[in-house]
Amino acid sequence: MTDAPLLEVRGLRAGYGQVNVLHDIDLSVGTGEVVVVLGANGAGKSTLMSAMSGLIPHSGEILVDGSPVGHPRPDQMLARGISLVPQGRGTLTALDVTDNLRVGGTGLGSKKDVDEEIDRWFGIFPRLAERADQIAGTLSGGEQQMLAIARALMSRPRLLLCDEISLGLAPLIVQELFGTLRRVSAESGTALLLVEQNAELALDIASRVYLLEVGAVASSGTADSFRENNNIRQAYLGY
């Protein structure tokens, strides 16, 4: 047993070419914890998710269960139980719903295990079950986001990184998605790290918050302390 956070980054820096976007980020997510990263457009939230999941190079340290993991590839982070729902719905648009889920479950082992896991997600997202044979690219935006989430969860991750899953979706669909994520997290102990513009919903489901400004952590604390902070409330919740 270790008391170390499931995922921790220390002094994380990352960017594109010569341009550094993230400046010495320190952040952690504990086992089963729900944490949100808030920040304005361009603050570096997606860059942070990409760096933590091995999609872009970084300097500084990434630790899983207290052990530095060097510069892992995304599949190596997945093997450690960390799965990403990328911004813009990470579905394989030419494959049908079932095959998308099958790809997500590649590491599970036997076909029986994969089929059982697909059935589990069809139970959680009945709308996907009704569209099991539909090509993913023809699903509605909300359905594609459900599929992207279910696909990322097919690997039974310990931590799900979600990059702005509410983007471009109707409020009712967003509420449904957040409700499902909250339930899945509570029932299976999956930790969540959510990057969100929708601060209201994110603060409802998260216990801790990091606020990113111009590529650096401007503040962090409990969701309650963020709600009680007048400046943050006005800037991010609009009241």
Ligand X SMILES: Nc1ncnc2c1ncn2[C@@H]1O[C@H](COP(=O)(O)OP(=O)(O)OP(=O)(O)O)[C@@H](O)[C@H]1O
Q: Which residues bind ligand X (CB under 6 A)?
A: 16, 21, 39, 41-47, 197
Closer of 31 and 219 to ligand X (Cβ): 219
Rounded CA-CA distance 91/168 in Å is 16
Element (H, E) at 187: helix 171-188
Q: Where are the alpha helices (DSSP H) in the chain?
A: 45-52, 74-79, 97-104, 111-124, 126-130, 141-153, 171-188, 199-205, 223-228, 230-232
Read off the tokens for 151: 């696909």
Closer of 45 and 102 to ligand X (Cβ): 45
**CB under 8 Å to 200, separation ≥6 — which residues?**
237
Q: State the nearest-atom distance from the C-beta of 12 to ligand X, in Å.
A: 13
Q: State the nearest-atom distance from the C-beta of 41 to ligand X, in Å.
A: 3
Q: State the nearest-atom distance from the C-beta of 23 to ligand X, in Å.
A: 12
Closer of 37 and 64 to ligand X (Cβ): 37
Closer of 22 and 108 to ligand X (Cβ): 22
Read off the tokens for 11: 């002094």
Closer of 54 and 104 to ligand X (Cβ): 54
Q: State the nearest-atom distance from the C-beta of 184 to ligand X, in Å.
A: 24
